[in-house]
Structure 1
């Protein structure tokens, strides 16, 4: 007679399934990036994970489902975070811009392959998911444009076209996924600081900064300068 499942065994089973599914997505993303989405088969993914193709179906039913998972992790998660950021009342307009830029740079640096694969393979998504992905991207752009417009209306940001400025900030952040490689030459903290400062310099009216913002900006510039000096030091110095 089979033993009845306990709540504890159910939790362990759910946790294991979650871990294996995450591993499947990670291995699949690597294969998509290396050999292309269309050239990668479910058999390739199963072999990379170390399971049979039949066992793989317990976790994913198709390659399209893997892309859908990337949309959830990259597109939907960022859209939700940006909506929350725009609604915050404890940050200045500059503070929101800093938070946004830092968030996106770190996300792209942490999951560059996932972003690149989704960017290149969006047309392979089922039509409803293409629509949802585009909606998430439009929402991010709209929320960032709104934050920039709020800063312009408050006199803290330069009177630029909010949408063009938003595209510029997003471009700087997203491009990290294409060139960033972790290592001593590109510390993610230094990269995030420099790109964030570039966005601030592009948008913020210097005279509109309060004492705290001016001190914060000076500290970031000092850190950026130190990072540059450290890269000039001989190895092992």
Structure 2
């Protein structure tokens, strides 16, 4: 029970810190403000996190890992591969362009040159999250649904086709809200282009289930990404 309460408290701290980082920015948010919003003492806060930087890292981890699970489940629940890709694309872009993730990207990208926050975030959290999609594509390739290829490149190409220039426009303040119609058009176009590029048989690939996997097969090993 104590362990459960500890994890719940830690999650609460992360959620409050995330809200303040989004509202005030990283630099203007202090540990004092976080403890005040929590209604507790700074001593309690420091009992969970030794510094604001450590708390920021936990905010980034929580944001990506929880969403990665949700997005992969949406992809795998599609009635066919094309629908799964479209559903995943829309969910990914709506999340990608929402206030929390945009605020996190802005915070990480404005850290001093010597900071390791961004590097550690990519290597330990963001990269592995994309590796899960690459591994799913690898499974589909080995099942003969997609043509044999570098599954990491395939995942990154799909990502780029979904994003268009919407991420840059949102990051720079050219748009304030995720453009739903544009996101849907981009997701459909990305799914169709992806299947034309990688579908072993385009029509059959469209009808295949995203969760399809060869029988008696071990979990795919992470592929080594090009430097």
TM-score scaled to structure 1, two decimals? 0.54
Which blocks of at least 5 consecutive residues in structure 2 are unaligned? 209-227
Given candidates 185, 192, 198, the residue that maps to 1:201 is 192
Q: Cα distance, 1:21 vs. partner?
A: 2.0
Q: State the match for 2:11 in structure 1.
A: 22
* Largest Rg, 1 or 2: 1
Structure 1 gaps of 5+ residues are 1-10, 155-160, 215-237
Deviation at 1:119, TM superposition (A): 0.9
Q: Judge conservation of contact 1:144–1:166 (CA < 8 Å) in 2.
A: no
Distance 1:210 1:152, change over 3 A: closer
Deviation at 1:64, TM superposition (A): 0.9
Write the distance in 1 (CA, Å) between the matches of 2:80 and 2:184.
Answer: 18
Q: Deviations over 1:169-199 (max 9, x none)?
A: 4526984x877879xx97xxx9986664343
- 2:50 match: secondary structure: coil
Do the aligned partners of residues 75 and 26 (structure 1) sit closer, same or farther apart at CA in structure 2, a change above 3 Å counting? closer
Check the 8 A contact 1:101/1:169 in 2, yes or no. Answer: no
Q: Is 1:34 matched with 2:26?
A: no
What is the CA distance between 1:40 and its match in structure 2?
0.9
Change in Cα spacing, 1:181 to 1:79, as seen in structure 2 (3 Å) is closer
> 1:57 corresponds to which residue?
46
Distance 1:52 1:138, change over 3 A: closer
CA distance, structure 2, for counterparts of residue 180 and residue 14 of structure 1: 40
Q: CA RMSD in A?
A: 4.8
Shift of 1:63: 1.3
CA gap 1:37/1:212 in 2 versus in 1, 3 angstroms: closer
Deviation at residue 32 of structure 1 after TM alignment: 1.0
**Contact 1:29/1:113 (CA < 8 Å) preserved in 2?**
no
Output the CA distance in 2 between the equivalents of 1:44 and 1:55. 13
Structure 1 range deviating more: 28-37 or 164-173: 164-173
Q: Is the 8 A contact 1:102 1:196 kept in 2?
A: yes
Deviation at 1:143, TM superposition (A): 6.0
The answer as to whether partners of 2:82 and 2:192 remain within 8 angstroms in 1 is no
CA distance in 2, matches of 1:23, 1:165: 36
Alignment match, 1:71: 60
Q: Secondary structure at the match of 1:61?
A: coil
| CA–CA separation in structure 1 for the residues paired with 2:205 and 2:102 | 40
